[in-house]
């Protein structure tokens, strides 16, 4: 948590205008408790053994299983999603995962009379966006900048910058922009209060 706080302090907005300066500090004071809660949640998962990058927002994520199987890159934002850590889940940098998303790393074999348990990792590339209530099944890799539409069920890998939707998820002919340079966490009010209103990647 201390590293996150120091990082925000070093990269804080420094208004030259006195009125703007007062407004910024009032906003920081107003959001200080929420900022503490955001940073504390990430710190608690680090203590449990997860690899959590700088300025990660975990929201009210329901994360089940061994925290050591979870890795989240810098400035990624997770809403009220569910992650089942039967196997490794690797989430890149600047990833957005909306409310209601489910990441499943295990299932049962329908070919086995004993209904055996099988598991496989999930990998989510940098700048990927997984929209509300999508489900990602075991063994799937979602590429850099890929978009998974709301309510989609992803059973196969999604290539870089590809947009998929539906059940089963199918690709759209249009691709996402490739020169991505934003940070989803900087739209979060407690963080935006420190770095300012311009969405950008911090140095």
What CATH number does residue 111 fall under?
2.160.10.10
108 is an active site residue: yes
45 located within any domain: no
**DSSP secondary structure code for residue 141 in this structure:** E
Whole-number pLDDT of residue 159: 95
The pLDDT, as a whole number, for residue 198 is 64
Global model pTM greater than 0.95:
no
Per-residue pLDDT at 201: 57
Residue 172 domain flag: yes
In this prediction, the residues of the chain whose per-residue pLDDT falls under 50 are: none
132: its two tokens:
């509300």
User: Structural domain of residue 95, as residue ranges?
Assistant: 51-187
pLDDT for the residue numbered 202: 54
Q: Is residue 34 part of a domain?
A: no
Quick one: CA dihedral 80, 82, 88, 90, positive or negative? negative
- Residue 142 backbone class (left: φ over 0; alpha: ψ -120 to 50; beta: rest): beta
28 is a domain residue: no
Q: Which of 31, 108, 117, 172 is catalytic?
A: 108
Residue 168 inside a domain? The answer is yes
Number of structural domains in the chain: 1
Evaluate whether residue 143 is within a structural domain: yes
């Amino acid at each position: 948590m201390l590293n996150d706080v120091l990082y925000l302090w070093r990269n804080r907005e420094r208004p030259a205008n006195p009125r703007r300066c007062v407004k910024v500090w009032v906003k920081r004071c107003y959001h200080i408790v929420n900022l503490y809660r955001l940073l504390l949640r990430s710190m608690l998962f680090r203590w449990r053994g997860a690899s959590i990058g700088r300025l990660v927002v975990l929201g009210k994520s329901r994360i089940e299983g061994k925290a050591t199987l979870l890795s989240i890159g810098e400035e990624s934002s997770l809403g009220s999603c569910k992650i089942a850590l039967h196997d490794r889940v690797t989430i890149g940098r600047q990833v957005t995962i909306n409310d209601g998303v489910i990441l499943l790393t295990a299932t049962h074999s329908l070919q086995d009379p004993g209904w055996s348990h099988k598991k496989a990792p999930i990998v989510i590339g940098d700048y990927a966006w997984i929209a509300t209530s999508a489900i990602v099944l075991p063994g799937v890799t979602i590429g850099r900048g890929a978009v998974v539409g709301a309510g989609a069920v992803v059973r196969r890998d999604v290539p870089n910058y590809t947009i998929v939707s539906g059940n089963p998820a199918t690709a759209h002919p249009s691709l996402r922009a490739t020169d991505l340079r934003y940070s989803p966490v900087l739209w979060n009010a407690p963080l935006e209060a420190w770095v300012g209103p311009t969405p950008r990647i911090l140095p």
